[in-house]
A and B are shown apart, each in its own frame.
Chain A
């Protein structure tokens, strides 16, 4: 196909795409227009039904809990996949965990970065736990809390070095925490079944005050387990990548 003909084929295709795209745009609902009934129904009944004022969490961990369970296992599988792909292969060796480069001096981390990382590590842990444990009261939840918790460990790496990161989050322990988080979520669902209720049915006492930390039954518990799972999964993934980048070399390299 010569360049001229190819250009015509492209132009015809692009014109068709633009035409269909514009046609599609004219059929869009107005900005902020919400047609479906479910949002309105949830808005009306969620707080009374679950005693959770964080209605997004009520949807995530209760009304469509099975969906969230699936998402959580996607993350579990992803972390496991990263661990498998980034393992030490035959023909690779692991060198000592000291920063070095063959051809130049590695600049040491500046004291400003170390200081800031140290300063923020503690507060970040608090914020992470707060978010993971307050899904029922305000917009937050296990996922948000978990990822923020995991960044605290990244700060530990920044303020020290890989050895310190490893000491704070030993792989064996992190894997156990991740598994416990995922299993905890699934187990809450199963214990509802054991009582003759539907899977993931909110069977715990809901409390009487909407928006109290102790209210909302299984929502708060599921959020806690999701927080554990997500934090551990992120720490595992970052740890594997750090190990791969810093320690693992081709043999003889």
Chain B
């Protein structure tokens, strides 16, 4: 680990630990929810929320650049692609 640098944005280590553990638990819960939800559209929406959780995880673990990608790819682009595919399949079945 690099030497601790104090900035106006420095958060106490204990607080950071609590934050990291909380977000890790939330991500685990979110991932489980995505697997357990069976209705397709709801599953996609859960996946979108899970994308936001992952983005927060990356932010809390000091990877803000990955956060920015995950925020759009995980919570917007991927769910959108899945929703469009579901709509297409549903139309074909009619």
Mark A residues whose CB is within 8 Å of B. Answer: 32-34, 40, 43, 54, 56-57, 102-103, 131, 139-141, 143-144, 147-148, 150-151, 154, 234, 237-238, 241-242, 244-245, 249-250
| Interchain CB contact under 8 A, A143 and B81 | no
CB-CB under 8 A from A131, the residues of chain B are 68
Known contacts A102-B94, A154-B80, A234-B77; decide if A144 and B2 are in contact (CB<8 Å): no
CB-CB under 8 A from A103, the residues of chain B are 94
Tell me what chain A mostly uses at the interface: helix, strand, loop, or mixed. helix
A249-B1 Cα distance, complex, nearest whole Å: 58
Known contacts A34-B1, A245-B88; decide if A141 and B81 are in contact (CB<8 Å): no
Known contacts A245-B84, A250-B92; decide if A140 and B65 are in contact (CB<8 Å): yes
B22 within 8 A of A: no
| Interchain CB contact under 8 A, B65 and A144 | yes
| Interchain CB contact under 8 A, A147 and B69 | yes
CB-CB under 8 A from A150, the residues of chain B are 72, 77
| Interchain CB contact under 8 A, B77 and A151 | yes
Contact with A along B60-94 (1 / 0, CB 8 A): 00001100110011001100110011011001101
Tell me what chain B mostly uses at the interface: helix, strand, loop, or mixed. helix
| Interchain CB contact under 8 A, B85 and A241 | yes
Can you give 16 A-B contacts (C-beta < 8 A)? A33-B1, A54-B65, A139-B65, A139-B68, A140-B68, A143-B69, A144-B65, A144-B72, A147-B69, A147-B72, A147-B73, A151-B76, A151-B77, A234-B77, A238-B81, A245-B85
A154-B75 Cα distance, complex, nearest whole Å: 13
A244-B86 Cα distance, complex, nearest whole Å: 12
CB-CB under 8 A from B91, the residues of chain A are 245, 249
CB-CB under 8 A from A241, the residues of chain B are 80-81, 84-85, 88
Q: How large is the interface on B (under 10, 10 to 19, 20 to 34, 35 or more residues)?
A: 10 to 19
| Interchain CB contact under 8 A, B80 and A238 | yes
Which of A131, A139, A154, A250: most chain B Cβ within 10 A? A139
CB-CB under 8 A from B1, the residues of chain A are 32-34
CB-CB under 8 A from A237, the residues of chain B are 81
Chain A proximity of B25: nearest CB distance (Å): 15
Interface residues in B3-54 (C-beta closer than 8 Å to A): none
A57-B85 Cα distance, complex, nearest whole Å: 34
CB-CB under 8 A from A154, the residues of chain B are 76, 80
A202-B1 Cα distance, complex, nearest whole Å: 30
A103-B77 Cα distance, complex, nearest whole Å: 29
Which B-chain residue is minimally distant from A102 (CB atoms)?
A: B94
Chain B proximity of A250: nearest CB distance (Å): 7
Which B-chain residue is minimally distant from A86 (CB atoms)?
A: B88
CB-CB under 8 A from A56, the residues of chain B are 65
| Interchain CB contact under 8 A, B72 and A151 | yes
CB-CB under 8 A from A245, the residues of chain B are 84-85, 87-88, 91
A244-B92 Cα distance, complex, nearest whole Å: 11
| Interchain CB contact under 8 A, A139 and B81 | no
Find B68's partner among A148, A238, A244 (CB 8 Å cutoff): A148
| Interchain CB contact under 8 A, B69 and A144 | yes
A49-B11 Cα distance, complex, nearest whole Å: 30
CB-CB under 8 A from B80, the residues of chain A are 154, 238, 241
| Interchain CB contact under 8 A, B77 and A148 | no
